[in-house]
Amino acid sequence: ERFPSWFVKVPAAMDTSASCTFTSCLLIGLTQKYPPVKFLSEKDRKRILITGGAGFVGSHLTDKLMMDGHEVTVVDNFFTGRKRNVEHWIGHENFELINHDVVEPLYIEVDQIYHLASPASPPNYMYNPIKTLKTNTIGTLNMLGLAKRVGARLLLASTSEVYGGKGRAPHPVLCEDSNKVNVTVRSVFQEGVEVRVARIFNTFGSRMHMNDGRVVSNFILQALQGEPLTVYGTGSQTRAFQYVSDLVNGLVALMNSNISSPVNLGNPEEHTILEFAQMIKSLVVSRSHIQFLPEAQDDPQRRRPDIRKAKMLLGWEPVVPLEEGLNKTIQYFSKELEHQANNQYIPKPKAARMKKSRPRHN
Ligand SMILES: O=C(O)[C@H]1O[C@H](OP(=O)(O)OP(=O)(O)OC[C@H]2O[C@@H](n3ccc(=O)[nH]c3=O)[C@H](O)[C@@H]2O)[C@H](O)[C@@H](O)[C@@H]1O
């Protein structure tokens, strides 16, 4: 998915003789520089800001909104985001990339703000917890301020982590009321601002950082490199994983809806982490073994979204089967590894949140 097929392909109609293939390629390369975008009338075209737009989810959202014909401004401080994720839009008249940290105020004119800026992977958000707090408080306040000043609608990327799950008997299926915070007239901070809140459950796909540290990218990279798949704890804890394109469609549907209360976006298909390890091992056809490491601290034991609200009010539900999403992600990471190998560098997946004790093997 790094270099989309349209970039190098010569349409059959143009490829009239073998002798002009090279010229045609060159021509197409020069003229058809970007993925195709729709043309929207002034009335339908929106100016959209995506904070964290060069990150894993943000860059896929950028692709969708650009292709839909909107004007997209990506703001990223490149802590976990990368220019490479959006490089195929650089120079396009509808696209702008700003190197900016949301902890500082931002003054631009926009109609919608997707506020995704925050590290999402545990090793990343625990790397500098105070900075993560600042990003999620001051950064959000700055974006709410911007939304209020320009009359934009803001979608906040919240997380399933708000439901907790360790230390109390967790309800296996988490609905939006599981941890209810009332929004009333006393919630002055969002006074006069149209807000949408997405509770995002575990998501995976291409453009996850090689050092992300979350389970799917770790297992895939380990399986591809013949290294042990690191299962934290017994592997009986569960998660339900959605493919990134499903999430992106949900985010856009939520933004354009009239629901101002939180909405879960996730795939309800729940598996144990050990099952994920076995599934990935067999899809990669890897000889890696499974290595049991100490349990991660405060690790939620069960997590599965209740998505009835999204289904009923947005008409949204995930459509990408787990295996299909995993295969696409495996393909992505194996290309990344090839690329890295050419530069003689293969990063190792990061370990996260370990309690200290000796690893077990099976
Ligand atoms: O992916 C996400 O969307 C969510 O990921 C994390 O939540 P978590 O569910 O802990 O995600 P992972 O770090 O991928 O861990 C999932 C499970 O796999 C386990 N794990 C992780 C990594 C690994 O190498 N091995 C392993 O067994 C973890 O202990 C945990 O039980 C973040 O805390 C959330 O903010 C984020 O929304």
Distance CA 57, CA 65 (A): 12
Share of the chain above pLDDT 70, in %: 80
Nearest to 80 by CA among 137, 130, 132, 115: 132
Residue ID of nearest Cα to ligand 1 atom 3: 202
SS3 209: coil
Checking if the pLDDT of 362 tops 60, the result is no
> What are the tens digits of pLDDT across the range 129-142?
999 999 999 999 99
**Residue range 231-238: average pLDDT?**
97
User: Are the C-beta atoms of 198 and 250 separated by less than 8 Å?
Assistant: yes
Ligand 1 proximity of 202 Cβ (cutoff 6 Å): yes
Nearest to 240 by CA among 216, 223, 224: 216
pLDDT of residue 54: 98
Nearest protein Cα to ligand 1, atom 20: 215
Judge whether 94 and 66 are in contact, CB under 8 Å. yes
Q: Which residue has the least CA distance to atom 13 on ligand 1?
A: 214
Atom of ligand 1 nearest to the CA of 120: 35
Helix axes 322-342 and 273-284, enclosed angle (nearest 10): 60
Minimal-distance CA residue to ligand 1 atom 30: 299
Range of weakest confidence among 174-178, 222-226, 343-347:
343-347
Ligand 1 near 291 CB (within 6 A): no
CB 273 less than 6 A from any atom of ligand 1: yes
Q: Ligand 1 within 6 A of 237 CB? A: yes
Residue whose C-alpha is closest to residue 256's, from 315, 309, 305 = 315
Average pLDDT for 256-274 = 97
Evaluate if residue 349 carries a pLDDT over 70: no
Backbone angles phi, psi at 181, to 5 degrees: -115, 120
pLDDT for res 5: 46
Check pLDDT > 50 for residue 23: yes
Give 350 or 123, the one with higher predicted confidence.
123
pLDDT of residue 191: 73
Does the C-beta of 223 come closer than 6 Å to ligand 1?
no
Answer yes or no: is pLDDT of 32 > 90.
no
Report d(CA 336, CA 78) in Å as an integer.
19
Among 152-161, 202-211, 352-361, the minimum mean pLDDT is found in 352-361
Whether the CB of 59 sits within 6 Å of ligand 1: no
pLDDT of res. 185: 57
Least confident range from 121-125, 197-201, 358-362: namely 358-362
Mean pLDDT in residue range 296-312: 95
Question: Is there an atom of ligand 1 within 6 Å of 322 CB?
Answer: no
- Tokens 């601002």 correspond to 193
Cβ partners under 8 Å of residue 276, min gap 6: 215, 216, 219, 239, 241
Distances (CA, A) of 76 to 51, 109, 129, 133, 358: 6, 17, 18, 17, 39
Query: Contact, 239 vs 303, CB < 8 A?
Result: yes
Would you place residue 176 in the very low, low, confident or very high pLDDT band (cuts 50, 70, 90)?
confident
Task: Return the minimum-mean-pLDDT range out of 161-175, 260-274, 332-346.
Answer: 161-175
* pLDDT score for 310: 98
Task: For this complex, say whether ipTM is above 0.90.
Answer: yes
- To test the pocket of ligand 1, the residue of 133, 162, 216, 232 to mutate (highest count of ligand atoms within 8 Å of its CB) is 232
Q: Is the CB of 221 under 6 A from ligand 1?
A: no
Mutate which of 215, 234, 238, 360 for ligand 1? The one with the most ligand atoms within 8 Å of its CB, which is 215
Mean pLDDT, the chain, integer: 87
Work out the number of other CB atoms within 10 angstroms of the CB of residue 359. Answer: 11
Cα of 167 vs centre of ligand 1, distance in Å, is 17
Is residue 118 lining ligand 1, measured as CB closer than 6 Å? Answer: no
Give the percent of the chain with pLDDT over 90.
Answer: 73
203 lines ligand 1 (CB under 6 A): yes
Cα of 232 vs centre of ligand 1, distance in Å, is 10
User: How would residue 353 be classed by pLDDT, with cut points 50, 70 and 90?
Assistant: low
Mutate to test the pocket of ligand 1, among 56, 116, 162, 202 (most ligand atoms within 8 A of CB): 202
pLDDT tens-place string over residues 153-169:
999 999 998 887 664 44
Lowest mean pLDDT among 96-105, 123-132, 335-344: 335-344
Please indicate whether residue 5 or residue 165 has the higher confidence score (pLDDT). 165
How far apart are alpha carbons 9 and 4 in whole angstroms?
9
Whether the per-residue pLDDT at 343 is higher than 50: the answer is yes
